[in-house]
Each structure stands twice: as structure tokens, then as C-alpha cells.
Chain A
Amino acid sequence: MLSYNFNWSIIWTEPYGQWMLEGIWVTIRLGLICWFIALALGIIIGTFRVTPFRPLRVFGAAYTEIFRDIPLLVQLFFWYFAAPSILPKAIEMWLYRGLPNSEFWIVVVGLSVYTSSRIAEHIRAGMQSISQDQYHAALSTGFTHFQTYRFIIIPYAVRIMMPPLTAECLTVFKNTALAMTVGVLETTFMSQQIEAYTFQGIEATTAASLVYMGITLSVVLIMGFVERRLAVPGLITRTGGR
């Protein structure tokens, strides 16, 4: 057995404890910003995919397919290393020199776009699962298309989509860890930084693990609360026990 001296106190010893806290804060900010942007984008693209307007549908399908079939890490690398050089030189310079924290914002773009394609897929599935008859029933009582969407379809669809959207929110927070590869000082990066300084890799990685487990738990609790508030009695959106 290779010798290894455990030293759990490094987690809260300065400056390592401070590093971890900063990393956690970056993770939370990154996750929340990406989540809300992805949600907005995803709803738009998802709706594109179910409109009767063919060019929008094709665009939506292509968007979803491209970002789904390339690993997220590859996408981030492309955004960070490759994309700026495609842009006009002035913007590229601003990105690398002028903008503070440019890695953070580039990851925001990459992660939001990736996540939005996944959310679009859930939106599409949710909206397609609503039967034609629901539309017809609403229209037959005199609703316009817009009113039908607003009062009948979208409220119903949102509730069906809660479970997959919860899962997607968890995934976003987990995916923020990939930002470490391009130098974003988030939780995982910090844990490995601590390892580099103290050689206490197990402790550092455990600390980071606890952070992610805590985030996951919080998201599940919050989304559970939201789901219950929105729940329609008698509508089973989860497969429960017998």
C-alpha cells in the first residue's frame, strides 16, 4: 500500500478553505446563469420544433442534433480555443485581454447553448405528448390559438416537464465542473489546486464531492417544492410505486 498521510484539516485551513469557498461561489453563479439562459433558449428552440412552420422545425432539429452528438468538453474547447479566432480581430483581442474573467463568460456561452439543446428536446417531447384533442377542445370553446397555448397547453406542459427539467438542472451544475479545463476557478479546479499545493488529493476531492452532493440535494428539494406547488391533483407525472 502506498503510504498516504491523511490530513483532513487542510480543507478548512487558510488559504485553502477560502479557495474552496470562492470556487463554490463560482460554481453556483455559473450554474444559475447557464440554467436560466438555457431555459429561455430551450423553450424557444423547443417551440420551434413543434410549430407548423417547416424552416423553424428544421432549424430546431439541426440545433438539437448538433449539440447533442458532440461531447460538451469538445464544445467548450471549441468555444474557448477556436471560436474567438473566427471572430473579427478586435473582438478576439477584447475577449482575451479586455474582458475580465473571459473564461467564465465563454463557458457561459458554451454551456448554455449545450444545455438549451437538451431542454429543447424535453420541451418538444412535453408539448407533443399533449393530445390533439386538448387543442380542439379549447379551440371549440372559442379560444384563439394564442389563448389556447397560454391558458391550456403551456401550463399543462410545464407540469409534465418538471421531472426532466429537474434532472437537467442537476446536470447543468455537474457540467460546470468541466469549466476547470479552461481555467475557470470553480469548485473542481480549486480542489485540484489544493491538491497541487498540499498533495492531499483524497481530502480535497472529497470536499469537492460533498459540495456537489449538497448542490444536488438543494436543487432536488427546491424543484420538489416548486413541483408540489404547481401540482395538479390526480395528474400523475411520476411513475410511483404500485
Chain B
Amino acid sequence: MDAYDWQVIPNNLQFLMQGLFTTFQLALVAICGGLLLGILVGMARLSSVRVIYYPATAFVNVMRSLPLILVIFWFYFLVPLMAGRPMGDFFSACVAFVVFEAAYFAEIVRAGIQSISTGQEQAAYSTGFNYRDTMRYIIIPQALRKMVPSLLTQAVVVFQDTSLAYVIGLKEFLRSASIVDAREMRSVELYAFVGVVYFLICFTMSKLTKRLEVKRGHA
């Protein structure tokens, strides 16, 4: 066992933090984009219009049966093809993540809306509300409140998932550490550092989420 040289971390701190920043950027795009698309797909999954329901359902089922890593490769090839020119790995990663995570957000949205009892729907209809107003004023406000814990949990998952952008060479946090490792050969120190940083961030986020649930009486 060689002695550990923890200096490798402060020595390369700027480079590593740059990687962490990229991770945050990708996560932010993935969460926001995925949520927006996920809301649309989730509502489509509840539609009684076949042309809307079947594609949405197929999309969700396909995405949830594929490994994210494969989807990342997919879009890595597909995006430049569709755009007609190379778009860079960050852009391809963003597209892959938004599309992939949307399927998961969609299920949360769908479950949230379905969890509001049909009695609420009937009460609104019985006073003469139409579909749009019922959704807008009665169902969706309640559903959103219920969905928040699951959405936050999924956001933490997305944050962790960004590490997979490693495979297309994107210089996110993990890739940055492995680049330093290739140079310095300090695997234990570097990967322990990565693990600890991820742990601190995700642990804090999930504790905050739990506190939020307790405050709202959802625990």
C-alpha cells in the first residue's frame, strides 16, 4: 500500500470544480427540460384521445426499459445527424437527458393527477365546470402539491445520472476526476473525493426533501 497523497485534490481543485459546475449545468437543464416535457407526456398519458395516448405510453415504456447510457449514445449519434452538423457533447447530452428523464417525470405527474379522487372531478363538473377549468383550478393545483416530494427525489436521481455523460467524454465531475487520475495515478484519493462530494450534495438534498414532507404533513 502506497502512502496516500491527498494533495492531489487541492492541486487540481479548479479543474475538478469546473467539472462539478458542468455537472450542475447539465442537471439543471435535464431537470427543468425533463419536467416540462414530462408534464406534457404525463397529461397525454391520461388522455382519452387515442392519437395522444398511445404515442405517449409507447414513449414512456420504451424509455423506461432502456439504460440511460444507451440513450446517451443514441442521441450522441442522432443529434448531429438531425442538426446537420456536429453539436458538441454537452448539447447531445442535454437532449438525451431531457428526453430520458421526461419519461420518469411523466409517470410522477400521471400518478399525481390520478391520485386526486374522482369525487373532486365530479364535484367540479356538477357545478358546471368544463374540462379545462376543472384541471386548471381544482385537479392540477392539488396534484402539484402531492407530487413535490417525488419530483424532488427524482431531481436528486437526475443529478446522479449526469455522471453517465462520462461515456461521451463530457467533462463533468467524474470525467474530470478520471482525467486527473490518468495523469496523477491517485485513484483512491480522487474517487473517494468524488464520492464524498456527491454524497454530501445528495444526502443534504434528500434530508431537505424529507423535512419539506414533514412540514406539509406528508410524512
Q: Which A residues are within 8 Å of any B CB, using their own CB?
A: 1-2, 4, 65-66, 68-75, 77-78, 81-82, 85-86, 88-89, 170, 174-178, 180-181, 188, 191-192, 195, 201-202, 205, 208-209, 212-213, 216-217, 239, 242
Main secondary structure of the interface of B (DSSP, over half): helix
B65/A213 in contact, CB under 8 A: yes
Partner of B187, one of A74, A85, A192, A209: A85
A77/B67 in contact, CB under 8 A: no
B84/A205 in contact, CB under 8 A: no
* Minimum C-beta distance from B157 to chain A (A): 9
B81/A82 in contact, CB under 8 A: no
Residues of A within 8 A of B50 (CB): none
Size category of the binding interface on chain B = 35 or more
* Minimum C-beta distance from B167 to chain A (A): 6
A sample of 24 inter-chain contacts (CB < 8 A) reads A1-B82, A71-B164, A71-B174, A71-B198, A73-B163, A74-B174, A74-B191, A74-B198, A81-B181, A85-B187, A86-B1, A86-B188, A170-B65, A174-B68, A177-B67, A177-B69, A177-B70, A178-B69, A178-B164, A180-B167, A188-B73, A201-B73, A212-B67, A213-B65
B70/A209 in contact, CB under 8 A: yes
A70/B199 in contact, CB under 8 A: yes
A78/B67 in contact, CB under 8 A: no
> When chains A and B are docked, how far (Å) is the Cα of A212 from the Cα of B61?
12
Partner of A74, one of B78, B80, B118, B163: B163
B194 at the interface (CB under 8 A from A): yes
